[in-house]
Chains A and B, each alone.
Chain A
Amino acid sequence: SQTIHQWPATLVQPVGSPLSLECTVEGTSNPNLYWYRQAAGRGLQLLFYSVGIGQISSEVPQNLSASRPQDRQFILSSKKLLLSDSGFYLCAWSPPGARYGYTFGSGTRLTVV
């Protein structure tokens, strides 16, 4: 069966510090991978998606970047965090060409102080 791992679960970082969140998927190959952010009381905002190694599409211009160095690894990064980067970050995967549904990771709650 497929599983998705996301870590860390909670992170408190000072303004201006770098960020690296990692997500890995097991039990499948060539998944579509996604990073979403969920602000308090708001829906999910798609940040990045990837259909293959090294292929990253950005949905929202921002202080963040994403990379996919391996087929089942997706990394969200920032060189210098802003207060506005605080939120709940969710990684998700779907089979290639899937028309419905993702499977989400457990999320990382990031607080920038």
Chain B
Amino acid sequence: QKEVEQDPGPLSVPEGAIVSLNCTYSNSAFQYFMWYRQYSRKGPELLMYTYSSGNKEDGRFTAQVDKSSKYISLFIRDSQPSDSATYLCARNAGGTSYGKLTFGQGTILTVHP
């Protein structure tokens, strides 16, 4: 079983829709979780990070961690065509491996006008 599992999609939604992107993880020791956005042929950029459980909101984006079910989510409200990208979830290994991230395989999102 992979440490971080992510549905690759692709996911296609109309402009203005609420998008839900999800990942599951297997190791309960993970504390930090991140979401990256990657445009085609570009390097990933950090969107949000969360620590432990709960929600974190930044504009149209909300990151959520449910440690009891080992589930992490990213919600995008009022989605825009410019949100079309690959979204990658990641976790920090913790312990002596701070800074080493393990990524899900990414979900391809297309928001059409």
Which A residues lie at the B interface, using CB under 8 A? 6, 32, 34, 41-44, 46, 49, 88, 90, 92, 94, 96-107, 109
Contacts and interface: CB of A to CB of B under 8 A. Distances in A.
B43 A99 contact: no
Given A32-B99, A97-B98, A98-B99, A44 B34 contact: no
B25 interface: no
A97 B43 contact: no
Contacts of A106: 42-43
A46 B98 CA distance: 14
B105 A43 contact: yes
B46 A101 contact: yes
Contact of A102 (B8, B31, B101): B101
A21 B40 CA distance: 20
Given A43-B88, A43-B106, A99-B31, A90 B44 contact: yes
A44 B44 contact: yes
Interface string B33-48: 0100000011111100
A46 to B, nearest CB: 7
Nearest to A92: B43
A106 B44 CA distance: 8
Given A41-B8, A42-B105, A100 B92 contact: yes
B75 interface: no
B105 A94 contact: no
A98 B44 contact: no
Interface string B91-113: 01000001111111110000000
B110 to A, nearest CB: 15
Contacts of A109: 41
A52 B34 CA distance: 25
B49 interface: yes
Contacts of A6: 43
